[in-house]
Amino acid sequence: MKVRRYLPLSGVSIPHLILISSLIFSSIPGSLSSKAITLRSIQIYNTHEFLGPHPTIYFYCKGENKTILPDVKEKHFSYIFYGEESWQPLTELPGKKCKRCGLYEFDTIKSDDVFDEWDLCLDDFINGISIHYKAKQFNATLLCEDCQVATGAYKYWQKRKREKDQAHFLKLFEEGDDIEDELGLSM
């Protein structure tokens, strides 16, 4: 005969508790879902295409489609975006994984020119913002609105865990005074 397990004082079975917990965690913004990364601003300092009238700049993460930045055409001009453009978001970062991404320029003659490639990670976003700068190439500000909540909660949890471990460590030394008495080392 199969016995159903219940949590004390609640009357809720473990499978129901797991289902309810997963629904709650998935509804919290930024808890289990992918984080949308958008381009907030960009300034190009150098272009590599000499034959065309305007360069075609795109953002690309390994294994994904290229995201063409149709407005970015002029050097030394600051472009500001609001995340509502049809090509936004640039990419999505799942959980704690990083992606190899970069900024490129289409080239009509040979392979595309690389402004820069880097590992894009959630840890790069401080207060939801990551600034990527490549000398004499470009300056870009990336935005991750959902990263603020998850990062803050994680850092708070880390701090609490560290404090708890330190208190436990100090308590071990306080209890260790009796060992000297047992070994006959005290005077």
pLDDT digits (tens, 9 = 90+) for 73-119: 888 899 998 888 888 888 988 877 889 999 998 887 788 888 889 99
Contact 142, 37 (CB under 8 A): yes
Q: In 3-state terms, what secondary structure has residue 57? A: strand
- E strand or H helix at 168: helix 147-175
Confidence at residue 13, expressed as pLDDT on a 0 to 100 scale: 62
pTM for the full predicted model = 0.59
Domain 35-145 classified CATH 2.60.40?
yes
**What is the phi/psi pair of residue 67, to 5°?**
-110, 105
CA 157 to chain centre: 17
Least confident range of 21-35, 43-57, 152-166: 21-35
Amino acid at 69: L
The arithmetic mean of pLDDT across residues 131-139, rounded, is 89
Q: Indicate the domain borders of the chain.
A: 35-145, 148-177
